[in-house]
């Protein structure tokens, strides 16, 4: 069985407080990828960036003073199109930081591969990809760059380069849909 990890495809990162043209452009690609995993009987896991109302007083809030993904608010919700694409058996992991440290609770040693897509390439996608690579050093870890967007195209490219150096396989590099917009 394969696992697709859909990182932080939430309203605030797509078209909300921290949204971007690049983020909105990848939603259709991510939906297609989710549908393909579901059709093959593979597993889809969503992560959800989750902050409390005191976000601005946290360390992250001091460096990024834009309230976002506050638990229970509209911007915290995962994109509805993507949830529908996943169907009834949806696993959502709320994470209070860039990376999630308890992946061994959800990922199995005998999986063929683990693929990540989502937002933001240069913060949460790269953080989780590197954590997973360290937890499963012999496992194939894949990131589809056509289903990712960063804070900016330049920082997206930097994260892709970093992941390649760490032996994470990159699909569709340079073919991100937002590059053609």
89-99: pLDDT as tens digits: 889 999 999 99
**Backbone Cα Rg of the chain:** 15
Q: What is the DSSP letter of 79?
A: P
Cis ω on the peptide bond leading into residue 78 (within 30° of 0)? no
Domain limits at 9?
Answer: 3-180
Whole-number pLDDT of residue 143: 98
Helix (H) or strand (E) holding 132: helix 126-135
75 by Cβ neighbours in 10 Å (0-12 / 13-18 / 19+) ranks as buried
Longest distance between any two alpha carbons in the chain, whole Å? 44
User: Can you say how many angstroms the Cα of residue 140 is from the centroid of all Cα atoms in its chain?
Assistant: 17
Domain count of the fold of the chain: 1
Which candidate, 178, 167, 174, 123, places its Cα nearest to that of 145? 174
CATH for 106: 3.40.50.850
pLDDT of residue 112: 81
Q: What is the pLDDT of residues 21-57, one digit of tens each?
A: 999 999 999 999 999 999 999 999 999 999 999 999 9
> In this structure, are residues 6 and 117 in contact, taking their beta carbons and an 8 Å threshold?
yes
Contact 11, 77 (CB under 8 A): yes
pTM above 0.85, yes or no: yes
| pLDDT tens, residue by residue, 150-179 | 999 999 999 999 999 999 999 999 999 999
């Amino acid at each position: 069985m394969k696992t697709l990890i859909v990182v932080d495809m939430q309203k605030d990162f797509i078209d909300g407080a921290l949204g971007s043209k690049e983020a909105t452009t990848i939603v259709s690609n991510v939906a297609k990828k989710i549908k393909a995993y579901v059709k093959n009987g593979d597993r889809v896991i969503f992560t959800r960036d989750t902050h409390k109302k005191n976000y601005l007083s946290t360390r992250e809030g001091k460096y990024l003073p834009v309230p976002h993904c506050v638990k229970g608010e509209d911007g915290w919700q995962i994109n509805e199109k993507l949830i529908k694409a996943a169907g009834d058996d949806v696993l959502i992991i709320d994470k209070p930081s860039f990376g999630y440290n308890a992946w061994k609770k959800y990922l199995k040693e005998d999986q063929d591969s683990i693929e990540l897509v989502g937002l933001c390439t240069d913060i949460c996608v790269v953080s989780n990809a590197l954590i997973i690579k360290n937890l499963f050093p012999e496992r194939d870890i894949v990131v589809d760059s056509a289903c990712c967007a960063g804070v900016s195209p330049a920082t997206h490219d930097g994260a892709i380069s970093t992941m390649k150096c760490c032996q994470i396989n990159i699909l569709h590099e340079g073919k991100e849909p937002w590059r053609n917009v």
